[in-house]
Amino acid sequence: MESQLELCEESFDLRYSGWVREALNELPDCFTITDPCVSGHPIVFASRGFLKMVGYSREEVIGKNGRMFQGPETDRRSVMVIREAIREERGVQISLLNYRKDGTPFWMLFQMCPVFSKEDGRVINFVGVQVPLLRSPRPSGLRLRNEMSLCEDGGGVRDAVFRCCRREIRSDSILDMGRASFVESVSSLDYQEDEINEPCEANELETSKASAAINNILSVLTYYSEYTGRLVSGKRCCSTGNARLVSSLNISLGRIKQSFVLTDALLPEIPIVYASEAFLKLTGYARHEVLGRNCRFLSGNDTDPTTQFQIKECIRTHQACTVRILNYRKDRTSFWNFLHISPVRNASGKVAFFVGIQIDDRCKSEETHGLSPETRQRSVVGAVKIAVRGLSMGASTS
């Protein structure tokens, strides 16, 4: 079974050519790239500058959600602004307090933008640029000494920018101030701790730096997507059917652990637009081998045509059905699929999708947390319907 790190790297490599990582790492900026199509919306690429800034290794970051850098003083409202931008598939720029691996906090300007597939307009990545924010110096001898030492210790201006918003006071700095009284030291420490809660706003230079970094990253991704034929763009060039809605659903659907697919009822051939991790594990296919195809590719020589016709009729009449059908994995081994299909309506009541839940018949008798297979299938249908209706209602009022 693939590890989360391998899964995320494979997801990234399938979209862009093998040289994209080297090209991205040549950029001096601190940034991450995430994939909303993978369960948990994990980071699939982290630049060298970003890893240096936060103190984590690549293995510790890839496959994790960006919330790992938040901490006790991170403003929840700012986090909600970012989450809303992801849900609405738009860019956002906001100041945010994050934490390094050693626990030290730092202010940064966070600018995020979606990356769209030119083929169908779906969001396939989010780029997040982080620009460390430099606070204006205040009348504090301790703070001034710390900032000067950062510029003189060999780390250079770049490290000073990375660290200037640190709130910790190192004991060796306090000892160096031999002429400072105990009261002054404690007062300075209290001042530093209080300052962490004060917003750190970006100046014009920092804002421009973030925007320029976004443009450079998008240029690299666009260029290297041409080698694979899976073209991307910083703007939605095509939005067919429910492409925007389906992309917004990815994060919500990723929380469902059962094997299922979501197909688009408004497109010809009713193609798969979402496949769960459990479905990929059950069938042995990779995500890119599934998306855009009709579910009949799981059928084979010994699949019963009568059952296939039953499924086709239920879809045509927008009715739910449950069947036992012989399907085939990628390696052509067969399995009996206890399959339930149900129409999913949007907020206006129109059938927009079909959800198909698969259970390997050999595991049908096994109960999970006291739930029968039928109950598990109904729970998936309910969760998908709630997500579709909720997001489509939000889109209609925005």
Predicted pLDDT at 342: 93
| CATH, residue 300 | 3.30.450.20
Supply 141's token pair.
Answer: 């001898």
Predicted pLDDT at 244: 53
Predicted pLDDT at 39: 80
Task: Establish if 238 belongs to a structural domain.
Answer: no
Per-residue pLDDT tens digits for 311-324: 999 999 999 999 99
* 45/162 same-domain check: no
* 284/339 same-domain check: yes
Domain-ending residue, one of 183, 213, 233? 233
* 21/62 same-domain check: yes
Supply 173's token pair.
Answer: 């700095």
Reported pTM? 0.58
* 151/44 same-domain check: no
Task: Establish if 251 belongs to a structural domain.
Answer: yes
* 122/155 same-domain check: no
Instruction: Find the domain containing 169 and state its range.
Output: 141-195
Task: Establish if 367 belongs to a structural domain.
Answer: yes
Among 42-51, 73-82, 237-246, 289-298, which stretch is predicted with the lowest mean pLDDT?
Answer: 237-246
* 93/11 same-domain check: yes
The residue ranking higher by pLDDT, 141 or 65, is: 65
DSSP-derived secondary structure for 2-48: --HHHHHHHHHHHHS-TTHHHHHHTS-S-EEEE-TTSTT--EEEE-H
Predicted pLDDT at 365: 55
* 117/82 same-domain check: yes
* 128/211 same-domain check: yes
Q: What percent of the chain has pLDDT over 70?
A: 76
Q: Give 291's pLDDT tier (boundaries 50, 70, 90).
A: confident
Residue 325 has pLDDT above 60, yes or no: yes
Distance in angstroms (rounded) separating the CA atoms of residues 9 and 329: 23
Residue 2 has pLDDT above 60, yes or no: no
Per-residue pLDDT tens digits for 33-59: 999 888 888 999 999 999 999 999 999
Within 13 Å of residue 44, how many CA atoms lie on the same side as its CB? Answer: 26
* 270/363 same-domain check: yes
Burial class (CB in 10 A: 0-12, 13-18, 19+), 186: exposed
Predicted pLDDT at 390: 63
Task: Establish if 181 belongs to a structural domain.
Answer: yes
Domain-ending residue, one of 233, 255, 284? 233
CA 10 to chain centre: 15
* 222/328 same-domain check: no
* 288/190 same-domain check: no
* 53/147 same-domain check: no
Predicted pLDDT at 180: 41
The count of domains in the chain is: 3
Q: Is 332 left (phi over 0), alpha (psi -120 to 50) or beta?
A: left
Predicted pLDDT at 188: 43
Per-residue pLDDT tens digits for 184-197: 443 444 444 555 56
